[in-house]
Structure 1
Amino acid sequence: MTPFFSLGAKTKKMSSDIYSQLVLAVYIFTFLTGLPSNLLAFYTFLVKVRHRPTPIDILLLNLTISDIFLLIFLPFKMVEAASDMKWPLPAFLCPLTNFFYYCSIYTSSLFLMAVSIERYLGVAFPIKYKLRRRPVYAVAASVIFWVLSCAQCSIVYIVQYQVQSPNGTARSINASHCYEEFSPSQLQILLPVRLQAFLCLFCLPFTITIFCYVNFVRILVALPKIPARKKQRAVGLAVATLFTFMVCFAPYNLSHVVSFVQKKSPTWRVYALLPSTLNASFDPAIFYFSSTAVQRTFANCLASLRCKLRAVVAWCSLPCLTRCRKGDSEVEAASRDETEGSTT
């Protein structure tokens, strides 16, 4: 008979394999869908900012940069997932990859909040806001957001990768795994930091975003002279943003609260982190509803791809049509010969 501990080891290994495959699938999907769309959005916003900078374009440009950073380092996470969640790459890439990976979560939530504030002020106080709106304010807000998110991730990095050993010297842990387990001394520092991130970098932005978009949509719907298409864009922008918060950011941030209450990381935390990666794929929908320039860029790109696809299909079908016509000619010639032979 197979020992019980052997069955348990096999079950654990099977569960680990399924998790690794799921993580790899999510990473591949995010990379293939997020990279081209974010690059198109980055080009569009960069051209607009260089030509005529506006606060909304500056904020969306920074949001795009945050997603691109995540996508650039995402292939390293793919290698980790393909290696059964072990880190086979050089050790210095582990903290660097995770720094940008987690930093993107917090910067995205802050910039989405800023976009909602800008949209709300534009419709609630159109004259006053237009007179006082300056691109420099958006630049200053962007700098503050980057500093806050980077500072948050820097604390986690220090706690995770540098621990005081008994003799007082710093040592690194988890050499074969990247950002996986924490010691009790680490958790004493890390759990309050996670709770602070939940309150300041998720709850506060999420609450402000809900307030701004609910009133933003309410004001636009109440105005009779606003075109129906613009109202639909407003609703689409609000829905896409709130969907990103609830699906991508909420599960991971709620695990911070559970960790603080239970004094340890919950087992489902690794699964709650996966939707955060999809943020890079969902943000282009927000870009689409936020900017007509992005809509034109995406439409032109799709039209160009459609034309190229038609050309490729026509080129591939041309030899088939030639062979079919040649075959039809041969059949007609053979039938003609048979007819002439029977007549003779």
Structure 2
Amino acid sequence: MSEDSPTAVYLAIYIITFLIGFPNSALALYSCIYKILRKPIPIDIFMLNLAISDLIFLTFLPIKMKEAADNMVWNMPHFLCHFHLFVFFLPLYSSSLFLTAISAERYVCIAFPVKYKSPKRIIYTVPICVGIWVIVGVSFIFVYKAAYIDSKEVLTDPQTCYSNFTMEQLRELLPVRLSLAVVFFFLPLITCCFCYINFVYILLKRPLIKRHRKLRAIGLALGTLLVFAGSFAPLNISHLVGFIKKENPKWRMTALTLSTLNACYDPIIFFCISSEMRWVIKVCAKAFIQFYANLKG
């Protein structure tokens, strides 16, 4: 990493993501558990897994903060480099698949209401969630093996983590990255666009559906596209560019940093879907306003 890299900007993005994402993800987790304990439905289970994914990511985000604060020099134990790669990329890729599952669930709900009410649907949801975690975990193994095929790994002076690669490593890593972009970004993006375009179209055609529900549906679609465009797109485009140019793009670190904003955008999706989440946010907002008023008084 060069000395003129905007590490202060990276650190600021990590801190903002943590401050916004962690409390909202915790609230989302609470509301999902509350709903599932009352009456579990497939959408709540998908949202629960998305909240868990975000919380795993945010819990270990301080490691990235430390790295950015040290100007991208890895001053922590070397084994922590391998661990932080796992807890950083695993939630990142699982989030895209859970968002896709949520979009498909919303589409099925409105397009096939009779099938959606079938009690058997809840039975299929748990294996789907387990399958998503397994797919992402197995995919990370291939990335790890490709990145560290050379026994000398990426040790440099000053030492960095997952930023400098030998040509042999890049020959193995770049095709794997492209595969990840296809499986965890391009295909999910196409699926989400198809599901939400039809979801919103069907809702708008039904005059009996209330206006606020239609607005939430539009907000849900836009929120999901915001996650893909603002968070996932830069990183996965870097995978495509890197494969074409046979190099590790210099701007990949910036793209990687932008991907962390995923945890800031997901609360929009929770808010649009969950009435409990909206209620909890209102209660917390009123409590904060009352606390602030008492301080001024």
Compare CA radii of gyration and give the structure with the larger one.
1
Query: Where does residue 28 of structure 2 map in the other structure?
Result: 41
Does 2:1 align with 1:25? no
- Determine helix, strand or coil for the equivalent of 2:60: helix
Query: Where does residue 317 of structure 1 map in the other structure?
Result: none
For structure 2, list consecutive stretches of 5 or more residues without a partner in the other structure.
none
Q: Distance in 2 between matches of 1:122 and 1:241?
A: 17
Contact 1:255 1:269 in 2 (8 A): yes
Query: Where does residue 110 of structure 1 map in the other structure?
Result: 97
Does 2:129 align with 1:142? yes
Q: How big is the shift at 1:181?
A: 1.2
- Which one of 141, 154, 168 corresponds to residue 173 of structure 1? 154
- Which one of 275, 283, 301 corresponds to residue 258 of structure 2? 275
Q: Distance in 2 between matches of 1:199 and 1:189?
A: 17
Query: Where does residue 248 of structure 1 map in the other structure?
Result: 231
- Which one of 144, 166, 174 corresponds to residue 157 of structure 1? 144
1:58-99: CA deviations, max 9, x gaps?
000100111111111100110110001011111221111121
- Which one of 37, 48, 51 corresponds to residue 50 of structure 1? 37
Query: Where does residue 247 of structure 2 map in the other structure?
Result: 264
- Which one of 299, 312, 319 corresponds to residue 295 of structure 2? 312
Query: Where does residue 130 of structure 1 map in the other structure?
Result: 117
Q: How big is the shift at 1:156?
A: 1.7
1:257-295: CA deviations, max 9, x gaps?
111111111111111112210000110111000111111
Contact 2:185 2:232 in 1 (8 A): yes
Q: How big is the shift at 1:134?
A: 2.2
1:115-164: CA deviations, max 9, x gaps?
0000000000111221255222111111111111112222222232x334
- Determine helix, strand or coil for the equivalent of 2:165: coil
Query: Where does residue 182 of structure 2 map in the other structure?
Result: 199
Q: How big is the shift at 1:56?
A: 0.4
Q: Distance in 2 between matches of 1:37 and 1:198?
A: 27
Report the RMSD for the aligned CA atoms in angstroms.
1.3
Specify the code of the residue in structure 2 equivalent to 1:39. A
Larger CA deviation: 51-60 vs 225-234: 51-60
- Determine helix, strand or coil for the equivalent of 1:174: coil
Contact 2:45 2:126 in 1 (8 A): yes
Contact 2:154 2:161 in 1 (8 A): no
- Determine helix, strand or coil for the equivalent of 1:131: coil
Equivalent runs, 1:179-258 vs 2, <5 Å: 179-258=162-241
Q: Distance in 2 between matches of 1:241 and 1:194?
A: 23
Query: Where does residue 79 of structure 2 map in the other structure?
Result: 92
Contact 1:107 1:145 in 2 (8 A): yes
Specify the code of the residue in structure 2 equivalent to 1:252. L
TM-score normalized by the length of structure 2: 0.95
1:1-44: CA deviations, max 9, x gaps?
xxxxxxxxxxx52x13xx11111010010011111111111111
Count matched residues.
Answer: 294
Q: How big is the shift at 1:200?
A: 1.3
Q: Distance in 1 between matches of 2:184 and 2:208?
A: 37
Q: Distance in 2 between matches of 1:142 and 1:87?
A: 34
Does 2:97 align with 1:121? no
Q: Distance in 2 between matches of 1:219 and 1:183?
A: 52
Larger CA deviation: 45-54 vs 216-225: 45-54
TM-score normalized by the length of structure 1: 0.83
Larger CA deviation: 147-156 vs 286-295: 147-156
Q: Which runs of 4+ in 1 moved over 6 A?
A: none
Q: Distance in 2 between matches of 1:35 and 1:244?
A: 16
